[in-house]
Amino acid sequence: MSKAIKILLIEDDVNIADNVVGFLQDFADINAVTDGLDGEFEAQEAPYDLIISDLMLPGETGLELIKNLRANDVETPVLILTAKTSLDDKIEGFNVGADDYLTKPFHREELLVRVKALLRRSGVYSEDNTLAVGDVMINLENRGVQVHGQPVKLVGKEFDILTYLAQNKNIIVTRDQIFDRVWGIDSDTTINVVNIYLNNLRRKLEAVGQNNLIKTLRNIGFILEVEDAERNQ
């Protein structure tokens, strides 16, 4: 399974956190933190595809965390994972910006179903584990890329950058966001490496006729743009 999907888990119960990480780690890259303030910082600093958060957390509550993220334009889907079961608690969670709600104790299989549903809704996951962008087909399972059935050989970070841009098609992403997502905010590599890999990726796509798939917006960022016909599908 590809690790193109990144999930942030915010859970202060170590046993539950270990179980969730152990169950989902073959499906996605998971970063787990135990404090609400740490979770908010991580969610704002690094790009994630999904946040799974408890409500009762040290530092700040899950509700405060979600409210602060939405106030700062962080739109990452949030799945609340909590022992609170009342209707009022659920309504409050949705009102501050949560996307789904799963009560403890829970079945691991239901957790995975809800995770996949949220990721499908945001366009970063499909059941056949592929992403189609225009004429480009990205296989997350075997890390293969094809254009009109013709294989395009991409190495490590080239594939990761293309996947990240495809998961955010028609959305501008900055060089910092690409670096944080692909290399990680703790990487010792300089951010200039993004330009090197993007140039290599562009050359390989241009060799198979994809000349304007990835556009540079000067001093802003990059965008993988698709035609209007695909946007309306």
Report the distance separating Cα 103 and Cα 85, nearest Å. Answer: 6
Residues 6+ apart with CB under 8 A from 229: none
Query: 45-59, 81-95, 133-147: which has the highest mean pLDDT?
Result: 45-59
* Mean pLDDT, rounded, of the chain: 88
pLDDT score, position 48: 92
Answer yes or no: is pLDDT of 64 > 60: yes
229 pLDDT more than 60: no
* d(C-alpha 58, C-alpha 12), whole Å: 8
Q: Residue 232 pLDDT > 70, yes or no? A: no
**Could you report the per-residue pLDDT of 181-220, keeping only the tens digit for each?**
888 877 888 899 999 999 999 999 999 999 889 999 888 8
Nearest to 136 by CA among 3, 229, 226, 215: 226
* pLDDT tops 60 at residue 172: yes
Q: What is the mean pLDDT of residues 105-117?
A: 91
Q: Which residues pair with 38 in a beta bridge?
A: none
* CA 72, chain centre distance (Å): 17
Answer yes or no: is pLDDT of 4 > 80.
no
pLDDT, average across residues 118-122: 87
Q: What is the pLDDT of residue 193?
A: 93
The confidence score (pLDDT) of residue 218 equals: 85
| Average pLDDT rounded to a whole number, residues 138-143 | 85
Residue type, 36: G
With pLDDT > 90 as the criterion, what percentage of the chain qualifies? 56
Output the 3-class SS for the chain: CCCCCEEEEECCCHHHHHHHHHHHCCCCEEEEECCHHHHHHHHHHCCCCEEEECCCCCCCCHHHHHHHHHHCCCCCCEEEEECCCCHHHHHHHHHHCCCEEEECCCCHHHHHHHHHHHHHHHCCCCCCCEEEECCEEEECCCCEEEECCEEECCCHHHHHHHHHHHHCCCCCECHHHHHHHHCCCCCCCCCCHHHHHHHHHHHHHHCCCCCCCEEEECCCEEEECCCHHHHCC
pLDDT at residue 63, as a whole number = 94
The residues pairing with 50 across neighbouring beta strands, listed in sequence order, are: 7
pLDDT recorded at residue 89 = 81
Query: pLDDT grade, residue 66 (50/70/90)?
Result: very high
Lowest mean pLDDT among 37-46, 118-127, 157-166: 118-127
Of 142, 140, 134, residue with least CA distance to 208: 134
* 228 pLDDT higher than 60: no
CA dist., res. 133 & res. 213, Å (int): 9
Residue 29 has pLDDT above 60, yes or no: yes
Q: How far apart are CA 82 and CA 46, in angstroms?
A: 24
